Structure 1
């Protein structure tokens, strides 16, 4: 097993509350963050100074989603629906009061936006008209996370009733239910090749499912001490990272499902509180992490062959 070298390159500060979400742009070195202070901020990995404020909303922002084709940012504004932002002009260009619940995740496929909220609803929004076209109601517990598999045209949704549900993106019908988690599922992610689905949540277990084998469960790993909040794959798909309420970030081998490295405060000057979100950038393969400590950290990760 090759050695993994980790070094902390920089810390971005400026948020006044817990940083809950990170989102990519079409540029590898640029990303957005959203936080409990309602601020949506734009950052540049090539620079060291703090970011630019894109929008200031009255309530917490748990979710952001970048629409590459329109070059717009969608912000999930708790209790007030979604806001479409022209981030370069720092202007709101549209909004939809579609729910009065907390919005936990946003994703998109083709011409539709998918918004999951605390009522257990996944709302399908037509991006051109900004109208609701369908509501997926398969649980009374929160719909916490959404992942899109473009190859199979499926959507995985993690819920607080401990289940992961797979929906067909052509008619939004339920394809299957995945059981096995013992508590809320906070994060779901397909591998870049679409062959694996990785899920995790409050039970601190990491579950890996084989998509082509009908979502056969391949692994069940006790991965952290406390809830796993998020995960992301490396740009080449060979590795993935998890982050937890236990304040740590862990690096894993995608194919062997093996733990390779732990990033924490004691060994790497990591976060001092819960780590909420990860973004593994294509820019120099840098890893970005966001935490309850209000900071955004940037990590250089090198794999020795």
Structure 2
């Protein structure tokens, strides 16, 4: 597949947030996702009517992390310095507030079959909550620098965590025993993503290097790409697993071949009227293969990705 075969068209710009938009997460419906950012507003969007965002919750501090529990119609909000709020999406009300150390919350991941919710925190701890009651079970601390990002591998029952001490640590998701420390990055690790088949782990961060780790060979490094000019903020796979996208502080989004790691498309301001500042998070929806991005420029963009 050659790069020019991928056609990208911006189909919507979603406005309504009045500060940087930091995070996007999917719901059970491929057309519906949630956003949050510096203004403390948590908004639900429907790709079938993208201009009508609905306020789900408003909290008093900025939000870097959201996590949906679709089977229970709940949304977890990582409220910086104020712990985790559990929102009932039906009634739009707070069911529970989980007090945690008063630090930033950078990511939340849920493993319902393990009965656990993992929360990555600015003091280097991973808070482990019960996914039933949301009570704090334990705090795992392997670094005094921020735990920035989380990824769960359902095939190996492993939890990968990227830290600001430049390392990726891989834990047993059930016992929380530390299994591997991956030490190739030269700066903070902001994003980790397992391939949909669980065989690879991708990591990226402030050193702008996209690194590839072979899960089946004890996370041996397979190679790296200098993927962006500045920090890689997020990595997400396409619904079919054949492509992935990265976004960066350099204001661009890039689409890659997941087998060959070849760059297929650059989406930026000059070519595509993309974001004017850092692109913080992506969500690649099965709804018409649409890619959604959010930015410090306070907007969310919806892209139609035609892979030819």
Confirm or deny a common fold (TM above 0.5): yes
- Identify which of 83, 87, 108 aligns with 2:110: 108
Q: Would you say the 8 A contact 1:14–1:50 is kept in 2?
A: no
Inter-CA distance 48–132: structure 2 relative to 1 (3 Å threshold): closer
Structure 1's unaligned 5+ residue stretches are: none
Cα distance in 2, alignment partners of residues 272 and 151 from structure 1: 38
- Residue 49 (structure 1) shift: 2.1
Deviation sequence 1:204-259 (CA, Å, 0-9, x none): 00001111111111121111000000010000100000000000000000100110
- Residue 74 (structure 1) shift: 0.1
Aligned position for 1:180 = 184
- Residue 69 (structure 1) shift: 2.1
Cα distance in 1, alignment partners of residues 90 and 267 from structure 2: 34
Cα distance in 2, alignment partners of residues 245 and 56 from structure 1: 26
Q: SS of 1:212's equivalent?
A: helix
Deviation sequence 1:156-197 (CA, Å, 0-9, x none): 000000000000012101001001000000000001110110
- Identify which of 208, 211, 229 aligns with 1:225: 229
Aligned position for 1:92 = 94
Aligned position for 1:258 = 262
Deviation sequence 1:88-135 (CA, Å, 0-9, x none): 311111110112100000001121100011000001001222211121
Deviation sequence 1:45-74 (CA, Å, 0-9, x none): 000423000111110010000012211000
Aligned position for 1:141 = 145
TM-score of the superposed pair, with normalisation by structure 2: 0.97
Alignment partner of 1:70 is 2:81: no
- Identify which of 146, 166, 173 aligns with 2:170: 166
Cα distance in 1, alignment partners of residues 51 and 122 from structure 2: 35
Alignment partner of 1:235 is 2:242: no
Aligned position for 1:247 = 251
Alignment partner of 1:299 is 2:303: yes
Q: Would you say the 8 A contact 2:110–2:131 is kept in 1?
A: no
Aligned position for 2:124 = 120
- Identify which of 36, 39, 42 aligns with 1:40: 42
- Identify which of 183, 198, 215 aligns with 2:219: 215
Q: Would you say the 8 A contact 1:13–1:50 is kept in 2?
A: no
Aligned position for 1:80 = 82
- Post-superposition, which runs of at least 4 consecutive aligned residues in structure 1 deviate over 6 A? none
Aligned position for 2:24 = 22
Aligned residues: 304
Deviation sequence 1:11-40 (CA, Å, 0-9, x none): 110000000000100000000001100000
Aligned position for 2:55 = 53
Structure 2's unaligned 5+ residue stretches are: none
Q: SS of 2:228's equivalent?
A: coil
